[in-house]
Structure formats: C-alpha cells, structure tokens
Amino acid sequence: MSVARIMRLGQLAMRILAVTVLMLVAAAALARPAAAQTFPALTGRVVDEANVIDPPVRAAIESELADLEARTTEQLVVVTIRSLQGLSIEDYGVRLGRQWQIGQKDRNNGVLLIIAPKERKVRIEVGYGLEGTLTDAETKLIIANTITPRFRANDFSGGIARGVDDIVRLLNHDTDAWQGNAAPRPAVFRQVMRGVGGVASYMPGDVIIFLGLFVLACGFSLLMLAWLWLVLPLLLHVGLWLGYVTPDRLRALAKRRAAWHFFSWYQPSVATAGGTSWSSGSSWSSSGSGGGFFSGGGGSFGGGGSSGSW
C-alpha cells in the first residue's frame, strides 16, 4: 500500500472521529436539560413550591379537591414552581404529570394547574381521559378570563382559587354556572349599580337602614365563622379527649366535609384519633397531622390542555 493511500485513509479516519465526537457532544447537550430536570415532591393536592398561596385559601382549595376526588375519583392538583428550568411550560406539564401520575390508571382522569411565577406562565394540563370534558378551548377561556387577570393584579391566591372553581365546575358538568362565571355581563352589573344609586338618592333613610342591616349581617357572619372554625372543632377535640365523642363519629363528620368546608383541616386529627388513616376510597392516603403522604393513581398525560402568560 502506497504512502499516499495510507495518508488518505488516516485523514478519513480523523474526519470520522471528529464527526463522531461532534455528534456525541451535541447529544449530550440536548440530553442535559432532561437529565438535570427535577420536580417538586408530591406532598398534597396543593404543592406551593413558589409560596404564593395564602394559607386559608390553600386549605379551602385542598378541601374542594378532596371532595372532588371523593365524589368522582378525578384528581386535580395545584402546583406552583420556582422555575421551569429552561423548559417550556407545555413540556414541563407533560413531564410533571407523568412523573406524579395524577389520575386513576384505568381512567387517566388527572388534571394539573401549574403556575410558574418567575416565568409568568400558567398551564392547565389535562389527562387523556378528561380531554373531552376539559377541552383546550375551555381551559384557554379559564386561563384568559379567570386566572391571568388576577395574576396581573398580583392576586395569586384569588386567581388560583377561582381557576380551581371553574375547573371543578366543568368536571362536574356544571357548564351553565361556568359560562356565567367565565363570561360576566358588565352591562347588567352597571344597570344594577345605577338602580342602587337611584335608591340611595331618593330614599336616604332606607339606605341607612339597609347599611345598618348589612353591618349587622356581617357581624353575625363573623360570629358563625368563629363558631365553625374555632369553637366547634375545639369542642370536638375536648369531647374526644373526654370520651364523649367516638372516633367513628368523627370520621362520619369528616366525610361530610363537602358541606362543612371548615372541617377539612380537622380531618387529619380524626384519622389520628381513630388509630388508622381515613380514606375516601381513592388512591390518595393521609396519616398524621403533619400533612401526610399523597400519591397519584397511575394516570398519564399526552399534552392536552392550554397555557397562558401575564
């Protein structure tokens, strides 16, 4: 073999080696975001990693989502994240849904409401089994009309709570109530306000009486809230400690949390008092008063849903 031929073969081998190295570098660069991807732990139906939800609002949302799952087995989880870590919120939503496996395995009936305050992005990620119930168009309207206007006003708690309400209405097939909430009628509101203004101008005495009754009603409502949130749970604790209230009775009361939302924060104590964790019959479980353990039911996601920004 001639020297020239040997040199040509050597140059060809060097080119092949260089191309191979470049391909490996490119593959490593493309794979690095996926390898470095980390997700928050699934600690409950509300995972507030970004710490933007007020505690009372969070408790109310958790109660609403627990009631939804108890009635329908559909799992809706709210998550706020510190960062999308270089991914689009659509890609992040699919990966998070598959990581957490929200929804039942045989029904794929999970939903994620994802908020990324740093990137100012929000997404409703819908599992395979609910794409016909929560359509892309409907989730887009919820984001545009309910969630992002409140986010622009820096009202994250309000936007998330109202967004959850709208999603739950659609999951309950309560489309009439949802349409009324998603498409308010400002003209009617203005007419009502004009009517109130007219009454105030022509009947000042009646307006004063009305305002007095309103203040009285507000005071009565505050007393009722104090009874429901503070006094009644305290009495139940004392009754359990003294033996006048049985754990079975407490569990029966906890199951009625759909009607008594104040009772949701008290549910872990009910489970502890009975010695066993109370379950709604789905894949969620909880134990202890420190928040417990939660898991998805094996559901999957394929990219259904909508995204928005503010």
Give the model confidence (pLDDT) of 195-228 as tens digits: 555 555 555 555 567 677 888 888 877 887 777 6
In a domain, 176, yes or no: yes
Do 51 and 176 belong to one domain?
yes
Residue 248 or residue 137, greater confidence: 137
Q: Is 188 helix (H, G, I), strand (E, B) or coil?
A: helix
**Cα–Cα distance between 144 and 4 in angstroms, integer?**
70
Do 132 and 106 belong to one domain?
yes
Do 56 and 11 belong to one domain?
no
**pTM to 2 decimals?**
0.56
In a domain, 195, yes or no: no
pLDDT at 248: 61
The arithmetic mean of pLDDT across residues 43-48, rounded, is: 93
**Cα–Cα distance between 45 and 294 in angstroms, integer?**
8
Yes or no: say if 129 and 301 are a contact pair by the CB < 8 Å rule.
no
Nearest Cα neighbor of 109 from 301, 274, 275 is: 301
Yes or no: say if 62 and 76 are a contact pair by the CB < 8 Å rule.
no
CATH, residue 170: 3.10.310.50
**Domain of residue 14, residue span:** 1-36
pLDDT at 163: 95
Give the model confidence (pLDDT) of 149-200 as tens digits: 999 999 999 999 999 999 999 998 876 655 655 554 444 444 555 555 555 5
Q: With DSSP H G I counted as helix, E B as strand and the rest as coil, what are the percentages for the chain, rounded to 5?
A: 60, 10, 30
Q: Is 206 helix (H, G, I), strand (E, B) or coil?
A: helix
Mean pLDDT, all residues of the chain? 74
List the beta bridge partners of residue 307: 123
* DSSP strand pairing (121-127 vs 110-116): antiparallel
Do 110 and 169 belong to one domain?
yes
Domain count, the chain: 3
